[in-house]
Amino acid sequence: MKLETGAKAPGFSLKSSSGADISLADFSGQKVVVYFYPKADTPGCTKQTCLLNDSLEELKQLDTQVIGISPDNEDKQKKFADKYNIAFPLLCDEAHAVADLYGVWGEKKMYGKSYMGIIRSAFMIDEKGDIVESWYKISPADTVNKVLKALK
């Protein structure tokens, strides 16, 4: 089930690449971009994450935080964050429970084979915890532009 503009963002608490538990409630009163990516340290996910990381100062000037979520475990997330000096939390959703809540866990196809996985998506959540924008099937290269456009 896709989340629409105006819906309350589902709450969550997940282990981060730093080992800390991070919850959406930790960002109460702030705007936050929550994006879901299929797998750490793959070309598209690296591009998306690094572009967001490179735009972090501009996003912070617009009072916006960033959280990345994938089904990778803590070790993979930490290696990914360390390798690219990612300055925002990368969270581990190994059981894809949060991905299910956001409607981003679904059937995918590659080379004629069907499998279940993350549908790359991003959400802009306002200070009250409401979804302002949702972008399902977003491309890695478009994420920052769409977020900045929504903020301005």
The DSSP annotation for the chain comes to -PPPTTSBPPP-EEEETTS-EEEGGGGTTSEEEEEE-SSTTSHHHHHHHHHHHHTHHHHHHTTEEEEEEES--HHHHHHHHHHHT--S-EEE-TT-HHHHHTT-EEEEEETTEEEEEE--EEEEE-TTSBEEEEEET--GGGHHHHHHHHH-
Q: Is residue 74 a part of any domain in this protein?
A: yes
Question: Catalytic one among 45, 104, 122, 147?
Answer: 45
**How does residue 109 score in pLDDT terms, banded at 50, 70 and 90?**
confident
In this prediction the pTM is 0.94
pLDDT at 2 over 90: no
Residue 92 catalytic? no
Residue 147 domain flag:
no
Q: Do the domain assignments include residue 53?
A: yes
pLDDT in tens, 32-62: 999 999 999 998 999 999 999 999 999 999 9
Q: What rounded mean pLDDT belongs to the chain?
A: 95
Range of the domain at 96: 15-142
- Is the pLDDT confidence value at 111 over 90? no
**pLDDT tens, position by position, 16-38:** 999 999 999 999 999 999 999 99
Predicted local confidence at residue 107, as pLDDT? 87
Q: What is the CATH number of the domain that holds 27?
A: 3.40.30.10
59, part of any domain:
yes
**What's the total number of domains in the chain?**
1
Q: Is the pLDDT of residue 1 over 80?
A: no
- Average pLDDT, stretch 1-16? 93
